[in-house]
Copies of this chain bind each other. A is one copy, B any other.
Amino acid sequence: MPERHLNTPGPFDGLTFEEKQALYDTLSELYSDNKRQLFDRLVLNRTRHFAVVLEEIFQSHNASAVLRSCDCFGVQDVHVIEERNRYQPNPEVAMGSNKWVDWYKHPSITDAYDHLHRHGYQVIATLPHEKDTLIGDLDISRPTALVFGTELTGLSDEAIAHADGYVKIPMYGFTESFNISVCAALSLFSLTERMRKDPAIHWQLSPEEQTTLKLYWSLQVIKDGERVLQEIMDRRR
């Protein structure tokens, strides 16, 4: 998925739900039935109940592994802080998952947290401290964004100070930390398993969000997708 620009309109922003559905029917003519069935099936498992925030990941190897885990567990949105490190997904490690997950860039932790708070998320920092809540005990009734730090220094003071809560993975050995990609995979696995089993959590995307996402996915599999879309949109005007 190309980066979603937060402050510039996306190509589908002005359309009604019905127009989006019609457009999806048109676009999906341009690829195989199998692919459309795959999109229709996978979109049902996507969620924005959880989101991921990556604070300045130095090794794009690790960031890409996190994208891959997000895709595997159906977590759609990844927020990347880019104060210093310019993040580009590593195609080998991401295994194409950067095509299917939305990622958003923010200039600072403050901007990212503000954005998430405005959208109703509690922001939870992952830390290995004694006092933290175990991941299995975190209250997930509210939408929750999980923040992961850098490999070298962990989360910044700012990322920790402004979080709404802290969570850790239970560990029983000499080693006191996990690799960031392992930490993210364990956290997302634990949280999404609980989410899918809890009938009180409305975690699925709305029908309109599902259609919008399938439009973005369509652009990924249509050759020259952006140009083709432009032509279709021009014809409709």
Known contacts A93-B179, A186-B186, A190-B189, A173 near B136 by CB under 8 Å: no
CB of A186 to closest CB in B, whole Å: 5
Which residue, A65, A73, A189, has most C-beta atoms of chain B within 10 A? Answer: A189
Say which one of A24-32, A113-121, A164-172, A227-235 lies at the interface with B.
Answer: A164-172
| Residue contact A174 to B42, C-beta cutoff 8 Å | yes
Known contacts A182-B65, A182-B69, A186-B185, A100 near B169 by CB under 8 Å: no
Known contacts A136-B193, A189-B190, A190-B189, A68 near B172 by CB under 8 Å: no
Q: Please name the residue on chain B nearest to A71 by beta carbon.
A: B173
CB of A112 to closest CB in B, whole Å: 23
| Residue contact B68 to A175, C-beta cutoff 8 Å | yes
Known contacts A185-B186, A189-B169, A175 near B72 by CB under 8 Å: yes
Contact with B along A176-190 (1 / 0, CB 8 A): 011101100110011
Chain B residues, CB < 8 A from A201: none
| Residue contact A172 to B93, C-beta cutoff 8 Å | no
Residue A45, interface by CB 8 Å: yes
| Residue contact A175 to B65, C-beta cutoff 8 Å | no
Residue A74, interface by CB 8 Å: yes
Task: Select which of B42, B178, B185 is within 8 A of A172 by beta carbon.
Answer: B42
Contact with B along A98-114 (1 / 0, CB 8 A): 01100000000000000
Which bucket holds chain A's interface residue count? 35 or more
Residue A154, interface by CB 8 Å: no
Task: Select which of B65, B74, B182 is within 8 A of A173 by beta carbon.
Answer: B74
Chain B residues, CB < 8 A from A190: 189
Residue A15, interface by CB 8 Å: no
> Considering the chains assembled together, what is the distance between the CA atoms of A222 and B171 in angstroms?
25
Chain B residues, CB < 8 A from A45: 172-173
Known contacts A179-B68, A182-B69, A100 near B174 by CB under 8 Å: yes
Chain B residues, CB < 8 A from A169: 189
Residue A22, interface by CB 8 Å: no
Residue A210, interface by CB 8 Å: no
Q: Please name the residue on chain B nearest to A39 by beta carbon.
A: B174
| Residue contact B178 to A96, C-beta cutoff 8 Å | no
